[in-house]
Structure 1
């Protein structure tokens, strides 16, 4: 007897644009994102708030992609970057990814960068914005 893992509960009608129903209707759909329950999301956000360095952030990006199918791109914005607000977070379109989760992940990473500015500096340097300083 196989038991299915718990799936994320549906958002209230009109509160989200995750298209969960469309995902569940498609038999070939990748349902990994629905494994991110609210409890698991809280654990993920806590982990993202306590990043150690840029390599740790990159490992977490890789794990998000491997385990949940979430593709997150992080790069400096087009304008001048004076605070962590100048760093852009872009999610590839993915059915099942809740609007609140799309907001909470970047917020957790920004809090981590504020606690440990070295992460933001290394990110900027990896895009050659500090000019090798």
Structure 2
């Protein structure tokens, strides 16, 4: 339930300690024209998102989670092969883009969860590579 004193119809993330984050939370809250969706990612919602990522079962499911993040937070979750040869999951770029109001902790936790899942389910990483034509259309 949202705080009655809050101008938002949804609960918002509590403020980080001073100097701990660069999310520009106060600026986003003060600007009525700003995209307020990132503020809805409370610590509890962040944990639910991480748990959802940990249940991803396929590349299509990963794409679905990416679309949900875009829709609900207005931020893009990039998961793509790196510019160099990809030999391990570490060669895959996983970034939750910076968005005013989106906490730094979330921008670290979400990509970490995706990396863990790709490591646990290499078939998802292979499908990602195949979708970017890194296997050159060759059956292996």
TM-score by length of 2: 0.88
Which residue does the alignment assign to 1:7? Answer: 12
The CA distance in 2 between the partners of 1:92 and 1:98, in whole Å, is 11
Higher relative contact order (CA 8 A, sep 6+): 1
Q: Does 1:22 align with 2:27?
A: yes
Mark the runs of 5 or more structure 2 residues left unpaired by the alignment.
none
Worse-matched range after superposition: 2-11 or 56-65:
2-11
SS of aligned partner of 1:119? helix
Mark the runs of 5 or more structure 1 residues left unpaired by the alignment.
none
Counterparts of residues 1-133 of structure 1 (less than 5 Å): 4-132=9-137, 133=139
Aligned positions, number: 132
The CA distance in 1 between the partners of 2:95 and 2:54, in whole Å, is 18
TM-score by length of 1: 0.93
Q: CA-to-partner distance for each residue in 1:40-99, whole Å, 9 max, x for gaps?
A: 110100110110000000000000111111212221011111111111123443101111
Root-mean-square deviation (Å)? 1.5
4+ residue stretches of structure 1 with deviation over 4 A? none
